[in-house]
Structure 1
Amino acid sequence: MNKYNIKLVNSTIIFLIIFGFSCKSQKIATSSSKEELILNIEKIFSQASIAGFTIVVVDEKDILYQQSLGYANISSKIPYTNKTIQTIASISKTFIALALMKAVEMGKLNLDDDINKYLPFKVMHPKYPLQSITIRHLTNHTSGIIDGKIYDKSYALKNRNEDLSYLPKHIKKYVDRMSANIKIDDAQFLENMLSEKGKWYTKNSFNKKKPGSEFNYSNVGASLAAYIIELAVGLPYEKFTEEIIFNPLQMNNTGWDLNNLDVSKYAIKYFNGKGLIVPDYDLITNADGALITSSNDFSKYLQEVLKGFNGNGTLLNNTSYKEIFTKNNDKIGNSGIFWEISNKGNPNHSGGDPGILSNTVLMKDKKIGIFMMCNGVDQSKRKNIKALQNIFNTLLKYYIE
């Protein structure tokens, strides 16, 4: 897979490899105080090609640690701060989990319902037409739906006439694909791809295993789950999440549409830390990766899901949170409901798109949550990815030991 392919996924797998949640094989600086921790992280950051970066650690009540480095806008030297907003890529899927279980609590749907109970077009596995695909299959990535090349159509440049001659050839040929795509409604996108009558339909959008029997990380499957939520509750998914998550948690700088947020706080996306700008693009399937938020706002959400994980949540009841964080059969993946569950029982998720890297984890034993994101890192050089890994693990070492 080319490092500059349009979709940098399976992002969850990438980040489990990148971050690994382990300090054993690396030389991690010991930090005896927060002041020393700040200096250690600054030193690691300064030696890598990373544009802007933020990281936050919370428990159920407080922000324990928060640090932002680099630039939201390199040319204008606008610093990346705790209030800087950017998209978080696939971590957006964890919000589908909360919205889905709220819909369950409202009596609008059940996890084991056939998805065709709600859809206005039929979706079935071509090799197993009599086997139902359930909502639960979508949540743990066992539906049989895979992204494939068709998923690249979900990326559309905001300015299709933009001059892209500044891009190196090895990047430009992938970005050119975005310029060929047209922004359409996500429901139309899903029908085009998954319905037998859809104009992009191909059996290659499904794997060879029957639903429920094999893990295949699926952005399209996640987007389909969000679409089912809006059909079941009678509200656009974006509006529903605003009402049941953003507003109650006072996440005032979070949303799905930049036009509704403070554009001055938005981070420019870069291919590296030296100012190579990623052309602005839309993600048609919003729910699977297009949430815009800040470190400050995400910390509020992180505290809520940490409370839910520990049986103290406020947005859902304990049964619902337990469902979200219950690990699927190990033989067919390690997913809860749109959260990955590590062997140590730590829920986590990550995200990767052009100009975006993100990661979050709930540490079961220490009862803390950690979130980080950045708006550009040169992935062609291993030292830059390793720097992010070292920052994350330096922080883990400080709080775990």
Structure 2
Amino acid sequence: MPARPVTVLALLGLAALCAPEARAQAQAQPALQPPAQTRAGFAQRADALVKPYLDAKLFSGAVLVAHRGRPVFRRAYGLANREWGVPNTPETRFRVGSITKQFTAAAILKLAEAGRLNLDDPIRRFYPQAPAAWERVTLRTLLTHSSGIPSYTNLPDYYARIQRLEMTPREIVALTADKPLLFEPGKGFDYDNTGYILLGLVVEAASGQPYDRYLREAIFDPLGLKDTGYDDATAILPRRASGYRLGNGQLRNAMPIASSIPYAAGAHYSTVDDLLAWDRALFSGRVLSDLSRRAMFADAGYGYGFGWYIGQSHGHRLWSHGGGINGFLTIKDTYPDDELTVLVLANTETAPVQAMAREIAALWFRIPDPGTEIVLEPEIMDRYAGRYRLAPGRLLTLAREGDHLVAQITGEAALPFLPEGDRTFVSKARNARITLDTEPDGRPTGLMLYRDGTDRAAPRIEVTQ
């Protein structure tokens, strides 16, 4: 549910982090399976890859890698609840943010199969109070983020006010209903959470049931997904992880968000096992017909299908989506030609889940030095540029150079730091990592420098200081 162009992991989506790779036009390589001896040692190597993120206090959560539907690596790390010292397990339930969108898209397709709707129906059929400017907005354009409707998560007061209020879906839609369209429907792409709120209302209107009940009865229960559901913060939910953010150089409880706010754009929780089971069911025809499934994974022209990014990574075809909601970052990568699924669910906002998932896939594909696939928009890195105080008289200065940041500490040579997430940057040459400490709206207040096995907090200072 991104509320700004690139720091999209902060709330329900991976729009900008995934988009450059998802839109790549390179042809995927034929599926290549590692030899048996590589598979046998894969779990050990994957664990060794994850451990540095744990040691750097960036990651806690669960990781699962499956080949042909069977786990080849399944492990949990860190704490589900830091106040009680409760560890994460593979059975821990995590908020999954915008991974919810593929559940919503599947619900729309199932209702289309039942004859309750058509993908080219105008939104006005199910939401009669739609403004005149939405006349050409269809369900298809909502599914593919090409409606032009502004996202409510981009409103200036989203973090300070809106996200804390319990609102009905119609009240959420009304937040941007009076705003002009960003472009003519079907003529552009802008990651849009309002669109998926509208799709949730369509599910309710077409099914005659509340959104969460329809998904439970039509999808989750028939598939045996007992650890997946709509996250209600007031409910007692066994094995639910708490979410954390970095503040003043320390992990803190995530900022609260009202349970009604994410709705059909990102309100669900799940486990790594249930998400794998969902993949297996979806790709085996137990959820949708072949025709509907092909529609879901067809690139609509902007590297996005229905609830999935469509692209390639490491030269292999990739269907992917991530999510970010207060305290949680997640990603689910599926390589269809290789029958490989990589899941990373984290209960920290600092976890570079996309970088982790792609590095793990590179291990499977036997790519020794995959490099970075993370691309941040320049304005995000420009926001991070500035001076940070490591100690009296010792400053760390950040500046953007092209697609990365350059860091210079007083008395030392400048070093390039490449993005590995929306708030983390790494220098492999120096074995160092910078993690930005930000307000919920993305404004940096400080950073954490991890170098030589030591964390150093550095508050941001103004030019006049």
Give the TM-score category using the shorter length.
Answer: 0.7 to 0.9
Aligned to 2:326: 354
Which structure's residues are more often helix, by fraction?
1
Query: How has the CA–CA distance of structure 1 residues 60 and 245 changed in structure 2, closer, same or farther, with 3 Å as cutoff?
Result: farther
Contact 2:152 2:173 in 1 (8 A): no
What is the aligned partner in structure 2 of residue 230 from structure 1? 204
1:189 positional shift: 2.2
Q: Which amino acid aligns with 1:256?
A: Y
Q: Secondary structure at the match of 2:345?
A: strand
Equivalence map 1:261-340=2 (5 Å):
263-272=237-246, 274-283=250-259, 284-305=261-282, 307=283, 312-329=284-301, 333-340=302-309
Cα distance change of structure 1 residues 189 and 249 upon mapping to structure 2, 3 Å threshold: same
> For the residues of structure 1 that align with 2:304 and 2:230, how far apart are their CA atoms?
25
- Flag the 1:304–1:6 CA change in 2: closer, same or farther, 3 A: closer
Q: Please tell me the root mean square deviation across aligned C-alpha atoms, in Å.
A: 3.1
One-letter code aligned to 1:13: A
Q: Which residue of 1 aligns with 2:338?
A: 366
Give SS of 1:338's match. Answer: coil
Counterpart check, 1:68 vs 2:76? yes
Give the whole-Å Cα distance in 1 for the aligned partners of 2:295 and 2:5. 36
In the alignment, structure 2 segments of 5+ residues that lack a partner are 25-37, 367-465
Q: Does 1:136 align with 2:147?
A: no
Change beyond 3 A, Cα 1:253–1:8: closer
What is the TM-score with the length of structure 1 in the denominator? 0.77
Report how many aligned residue pairs link the two structures: 345
Structure with more of its chain in strand, by fraction: 2
5+ residue gaps, structure 1: 22-29, 156-173, 195-200, 379-383
Q: Could you say what secondary structure the match of 2:142 adopts?
A: helix
Question: 1: distance between equivalents of 2:43 and 2:107?
Answer: 39
> Alpha-carbon deviation of 1:389?
5.0
Distance 2:5 2:138 in 1: 33
Answer 1 or 2: higher relative contact order, Cα 8 Å, separation at least 6.
1
Q: Please tell me whether the aligned partners of residues 243 and 254 of structure 2 are also in contact (alpha carbons under 8 angstroms).
A: yes
Kept in 2, the 8 Å contact 1:253–1:293? The answer is yes
For the residue of structure 1 that corresponds to 2:258, the secondary structure is strand
Tell me, yes or no, if the aligned pair for 1:254 and 1:291 is still in contact at 8 Å: yes
Partners in 1 of 2:176 and 2:355 — Cα distance?
40
Alignment of 1:22-37 (within 5 A): 33-37=41-45
Inter-CA distance 240–260: structure 2 relative to 1 (3 Å threshold): farther
| Cα distance in 2 for residues equivalent to 1:217 and 1:255 | 23
Distance 1:323 1:347 in 2: 13
Cα separation, 1, equivalents of 2:8 and 2:303? 26
- Which residue number corresponds to residue 185 of structure 2? 211
- Does structure 1 residue 398 correspond to structure 2 residue 363? yes
Is the alpha carbon distance of 1:101 and 1:59 closer, same or farther for their aligned partners in structure 2, counting shifts above 3 Å?
farther
Contact 1:31 / 1:398 at 8 angstroms: preserved in 2? no
Q: Distance in 1 between matches of 2:329 and 2:100?
A: 12
Aligned equivalents of 2:317, 2:46: Cα separation in 1: 28
Note closer, same or farther for the CA distance 1:212–1:389 as it changes in structure 2 (3 Å cut).
closer
Q: CA deviation at 1:20?
A: 11
Tell me: CA distance 1:143–1:69, structure 2 relative to 1, closer, same or farther (3 Å): same
- Give the counterpart letter for 1:12 in structure 2: A
Task: Quote the sequence identity (%).
Answer: 23
Distance 1:362 1:3 in 2: 22
Paired residue secondary structure (1:342): strand
Q: Residues 186-205 of structure 1 correspond to what in structure 2 (within 5 A)?
A: 186-194=169-177, 201-203=178-180
Give TM-score scaled by structure 2 length.
0.67
**Residue in structure 1 matched with residue 161 of structure 2 by the alignment:** 177
